[in-house]
């Protein structure tokens, strides 16, 4: 007995000091906030204030405010605006507490503004090293802060969780919470549950092993961590959930980390005391790369529920078994009480990248219903009992060895762009994408030292310099605002958009839905019919979601504008399919009767291609193209055509000089801008081949421009 007691005491001591994941079974209590933002305020949900990323624990993003309504929204005008000191994608939802707006911007900076006047109260910069960008798939974005007690919490791109004094913006503590800084980045908004701060990380394209962890809000001490995929069995499993998950993998899956990262949705339900979160793709995408076989690869591309106090596994529902398409299940998880077959059910509602809308029982994860909300060609449907997809053989591209043109593609039918649920209309308002992606396995890929580890042959499916092919791709790539009834699993109405990656939505008790567009408008629609009622020219594409608050009897609507993110960075000729794009990063705040204006925007640069003559060899172009696709296209665009955020290398003066390109690619001359040295992946001859590929591409597109007149 004595030994057992001693061991127990020792174990608890280790738990307390190291907060080991193996200690999950010991309940972890944290002191609750008694001042400032309290648990009771968070549980009450949003009213005059907007206290959490999703507008309340239910993540419905529904405002009960009615002053601005479908009848008078035409009188909405700009109350104030604030220009931001960054020019990258803005994805955050502002929070409002006690007359102050707290908002994170690109590079994980945080600002506090007087919510009525727009006066800047303080600004906090975590000084994220710019070279962090090389392990980030989708721009230097941050989706928001959390408020609790007297602190503001932000998770920085470089893997730190930071507590800031709400009153003056000074840093209270900052802790690196990811295992290493080569593979992990954080873009998501922290959430609060019972005195704990919850956050996961991104990185499932970069050898990451996914997890979500809880930290004491006062001290930052780690209290529990739930891994989403099993590690090397030789090291022992952290819990039973990992042991079970390991049965669904084969080969040496842990060598690439396994993926399953928790990079966006985290939902705390005080009713069940469960935390629900979505997990990302299995890593690498191509299952042949690590011989993981055709197993489910748990708990990737799933919704997982764990106990909020201990992090102990409660249930999981895998939306995409054997994921090889990057069908992250990270999109927002909304909870609600809806009537299903005559009974009120507490449900989880989810519209992940894979294109199916799911309704699950919140307590058990039981599948209640699921239907495709965008065209889907990787599965013929869902099993009506279990919700498991019937995967079509042609979608297993690594088995067929053929190109699979998948819909949705890696951008997803719907991803992090927030949706909103109106209990008034019973509808979910989802920013959807109609996109395709050609998947082709790279059978020679065995991993690289840095960068993405997808195992796909991106070079062979890059967009050709062909007018008809490009026109067809642009025509097939669209978006929409979709109003979806989760009970009947049917569309109520839609507003079509010319392109994907439009902003998140807010619905209000004034029978309104607000949404910004990729084309640069901020709009209001009637929530019941979808009729457009109001629009404001935002001068830049909007990807973030709006929120609403009220001060001194006046209702406001706020939105962070600023084009960027995944769509702009990767998609080449499709990046501007919604229209010419540029980034003007700005917080816009509206109220009835206001008549504020924005300064005249700078013109959109329409540059004419003027490349040096091509003097390289066909072999260099082939090698350069093969190297460009995995190493460069993630930031500089498919087929060397960039969007609005990063430099278009066809226009770069550096491609005229072998020495200049070598200085950048090998010696890291532009590291301060985020362009790190790639010498671990490429040598000097490779860099020269990439240069010749860029010159060739620029000349091909120049010829297309000339032909078009
Ligand atoms: Ca992913």
pLDDT digits (tens, 9 = 90+) for 541-563: 999 999 999 999 999 999 999 99
Note the pLDDT of residue 23: 46
A 10 A CB-CB count for 383 gives 11
Distance 238 CA to ligand 1 centre (A): 24
Phi, psi of 438 (to 5 degrees): -80, 115
CA 399 to chain centre: 29
Distance between CA atoms of 77 and 373, rounded to whole angstroms? 34
Query: If we measure between CA atoms, which residue out of 400, 486, 412 comes closest to residue 441?
Result: 400
**Alpha-carbon distances, residue 364 vs 91, 297, 460, 615 (angstroms):** 32, 21, 44, 64
The answer to whether 94 touches 547, Cβ cutoff 8 Å, is: yes
pLDDT digits (tens, 9 = 90+) for 449-464: 888 999 999 999 999 9
For residue 325, the CA-to-ligand 1 centroid distance in Å is 9
CA 410 to centroid of ligand 1, rounded, Å:
8
Distance 481 CA to ligand 1 centre (A): 23
* Sign of the four-CA dihedral 233, 239, 241, 244: positive
Q: What is the pLDDT of residues 616-625, one digit of tens each?
A: 999 999 999 9
Write out the two tokens for 667. Answer: 């010696």
Q: Which residues form the catalytic set?
A: 326
Q: How far apart are CA 567 and CA 646, in angstroms?
A: 12
- Helical axes 618-631 vs 684-708, angle rounded to 10°: 100
- Using one digit for the tens of pLDDT, what is the confidence trace for 339-379? 988 999 999 999 999 999 999 999 999 999 999 999 999 99
Q: How far apart are CA 404 and CA 397, in angstroms?
A: 6
Provide the pairing of β-strand 62-63 with 505-508.
parallel
- Which of 135, 94, 88, 121 lies closest to 107 in space, CA to CA? 88
Separation of CA 528 and ligand 1 centre (Å): 34
Distance 280 CA to ligand 1 centre (A): 5
Cα 512 to averaged position of ligand 1 atoms, centre (Å): 32
329 CA to centre of ligand 1 in angstroms = 9
Q: Which of 539, 548, 547, 637 is nearest to 585 (CA)?
A: 539
Please state, in angstroms and rounded to a whole number, the distance separating the CA atoms of residues 361 and 576: 40
Q: Which two tokens stand for residue 527?
A: 């929530």
Cα pseudo-dihedral 234, 236, 242, 243, rounded to 10: 80
pLDDT recorded at residue 1: 33
**pTM of the complete model:** 0.95
Question: Would you say 161 and 215 are in contact if contact means Cβ atoms under 8 Å apart?
Answer: yes
CA of 635 to the centre of ligand 1 (A): 15
Q: How far is the CA of 420 from the centre of ligand 1 (A)?
A: 23
Question: What distances in angstroms separate CA 296 from CA 200, 229, 288, 301, 394, one per listed residue?
Answer: 22, 11, 14, 10, 18
| pLDDT at residue 421, rounded to an integer | 98
**What confidence score (pLDDT) does residue 603 get?**
85
For 339, residues 6+ apart whose C-beta sits below 8 A from its C-beta are 345, 487
- Ligand 1 centroid to Cα of residue 281, in Å, is 5
Question: How far is ligand 1, taken at its centre, from the CA of residue 413, in Å?
Answer: 13
Q: What are the tens digits of pLDDT across the range 214-253? A: 999 999 999 999 999 999 999 999 999 999 999 999 999 9
Name the token pair of 500. Answer: 């994907």
Contacts of 556 (CB under 8 A, 6+ apart): 79, 115, 548, 549, 550, 589, 590, 591
Strands (E), 435-546: 437-439, 478-485, 490-497, 505-508, 512-516, 521-526, 532-537
- Count of CA atoms in the C-beta half-sphere (13 A) of 140: 24
Q: What is the pLDDT of residue 16?
A: 41
**222 close to 30: Cβ distance less than 8 angstroms:** no
Q: Provide the 10 A C-beta neighbour count for residue 56.
A: 21
Which helix (H) or strand (E) segment holds residue 430: the answer is strand 427-434
Q: What is the pLDDT of residue 134?
A: 85
| HEC profile of 292-346 | CCCCCCCCCCEEEEEECCCCCEEEEEECCCCCCCCCCCCCCEEEEEEEECCEEEE
Beta strands (DSSP E) in 61-124 are 62-63, 76-83, 95-97, 100-104, 110-114, 120-124
Residues that place a CB less than 5 A from ion ligand 1: 204, 280-281, 326, 328
Torsion angle, alpha carbons of 327, 331, 335, 341, to 10: -40
Distance, CA of 475 to chain centre: 25
C-alpha closest to that of 654 among 643, 645, 662 = 662
* 544 close to 93: Cβ distance less than 8 angstroms: yes
pLDDT at residue number 709: 66
Residues 644, 576 contacting (CB under 8 angstroms): yes
Minimal CA–CA distance to 540: which of 103, 110, 137, 89? 89
How far apart are alpha carbons 238 and 573 in whole angstroms? 46
pLDDT of residue 605: 75
247 touches 274 (CB < 8 A): no
Three-class secondary structure assignment of 124-148? ECCCCCHHHHHHCCCCCCCCCCEEE
Low-confidence ranges of the chain (pLDDT < 50): 1-25
Alpha carbon 642 to its chain's center: 20
Ligand 1: centre distance to CA 332 (Å):
15
């Amino acid at each position: 007995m004595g030994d057992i007691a001693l061991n127990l005491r020792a174990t608890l001591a280790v738990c307390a000091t190291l907060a080991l994941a193996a200690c999950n079974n010991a309940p972890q209590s944290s002191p609750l906030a008694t001042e400032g933002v309290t648990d009771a305020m968070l549980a009450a949900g949003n009213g005059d204030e907007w206290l959490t990323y999703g507008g309340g624990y239910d993540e419905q993003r529904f405002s009960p405010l009615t002053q601005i309504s479908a009848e008078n929204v035409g009188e909405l005008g700009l109350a104030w605006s604030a220009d931001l000191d960054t020019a990258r994608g803005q994805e955050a939802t502002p929070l409002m507490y006690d007359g102050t707006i707290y908002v994170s911007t690109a590079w994980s900076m945080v600002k506090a503004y007087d919510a009525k006047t727009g006066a800047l109260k303080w600004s906090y910069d975590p000084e994220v090293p710019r070279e962090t960008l090389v392990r980030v798939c989708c721009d230097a974005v941050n989706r928001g802060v959390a408020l609790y007690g007297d602190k503001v919490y932000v998770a920085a791109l470089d893997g730190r969780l930071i507590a800031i004094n709400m009153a003056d913006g000074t840093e209270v503590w900052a802790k690196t919470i990811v295992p290493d800084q080569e593979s992990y980045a954080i873009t998501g908004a922290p959430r609060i549950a019972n005195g704990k701060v919850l956050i996961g990380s991104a990185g499932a394209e970069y050898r990451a092993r996914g997890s979500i962890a809880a930290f004491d809000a006062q001290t930052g001490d780690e209290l529990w961590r739930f891994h989403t995929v099993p590690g090397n069995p030789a090291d022992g499993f952290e819990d039973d959930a990992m042991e079970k998950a390991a049965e669904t993998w084969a080969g040496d899956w842990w060598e690439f980390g396994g993926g399953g990262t928790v990079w966006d949705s985290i939902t705390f339900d005080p009713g069940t005391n469960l935390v629900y979160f979505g997990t990302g793709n299995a890593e690498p995408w191509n299952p042949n790369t690590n011989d993981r076989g055709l197993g489910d690869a748990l708990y990737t591309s799933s919704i997982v529920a764990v106990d909020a106090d201990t992090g102990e596994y409660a249930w999981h529902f895998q939306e995409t078994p054997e994921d090889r398409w990057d069908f992250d299940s990270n999109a927002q998880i909304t909870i609600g009480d809806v009537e299903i077959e005559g009974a009120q059910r507490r449900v989880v509602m989810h519209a992940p990248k894979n294109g199916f809308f799911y309704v699950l029982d919140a307590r058990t994860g039981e599948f209640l219903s699921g239907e495709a909300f965008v065209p889907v060609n990787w599965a013929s449907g869902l099993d009506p009992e279990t919700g498991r997809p019937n995967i079509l053989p042609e979608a297993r591209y690594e088995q067929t060895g053929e190109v699979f043109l998948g819909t949705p593609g890696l951008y997803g039918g719907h991803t992090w762009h927030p949706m909103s649920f109106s209990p008034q209309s019973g509808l979910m308002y989802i920013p959807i994408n109609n996109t395709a992606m050609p998947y082709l396995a790279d059978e020679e890929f065995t991993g690289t030292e840095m960068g993405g580890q997808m195992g796909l042959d991106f070079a062979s499916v890059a967009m050709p310099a062909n007018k008809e092919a490009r026109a067809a791709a642009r025509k097939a790539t669209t978006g929409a605002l979709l109003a979806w009834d989760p009970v009947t699993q049917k569309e109520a109405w839609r507003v079509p958009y010319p392109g994907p990656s439009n902003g998140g939505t807010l619905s209000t008790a004034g029978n309104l839905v607000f949404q910004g567009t990729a084309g640069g408008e901020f709009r209001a629609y009637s929530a019941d019919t979808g009729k457009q009622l109001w629009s404001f020219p935002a001068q830049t594409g909007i990807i973030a979601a709006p929120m609403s608050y009220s001060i001194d009897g006046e209702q406001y609507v706020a939105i962070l504008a600023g084009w960027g993110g995944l769509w702009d960075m990767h998609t080449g000729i499709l990046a501007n399919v919604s229209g010419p794009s540029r980034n003007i990063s700005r917080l816009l705040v509206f109220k009835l009767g206001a008549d504020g204006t924005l300064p005249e925007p700078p013109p959109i640069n329409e540059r004419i291609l003027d490349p040096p003559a091509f003097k390289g060899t066909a072999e260099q172009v082939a090698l350069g193209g093969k190297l460009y696709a995995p190493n460069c296209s993630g930031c500089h665009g498919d087929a060397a055509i960039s969007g609005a955020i990063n430099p278009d290398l066809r226009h770069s003066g550096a491609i005229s000089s072998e020495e200049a390109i070598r200085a950048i690619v090998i010696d890291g001359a532009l590291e301060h801008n985020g362009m790190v040295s790639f010498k671990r992946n490429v040598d000097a001859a490779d860099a020269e081949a990439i240069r010749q590929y860029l010159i060739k591409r620029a000349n091909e597109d120049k010829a297309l421009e000339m032909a078009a007149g």
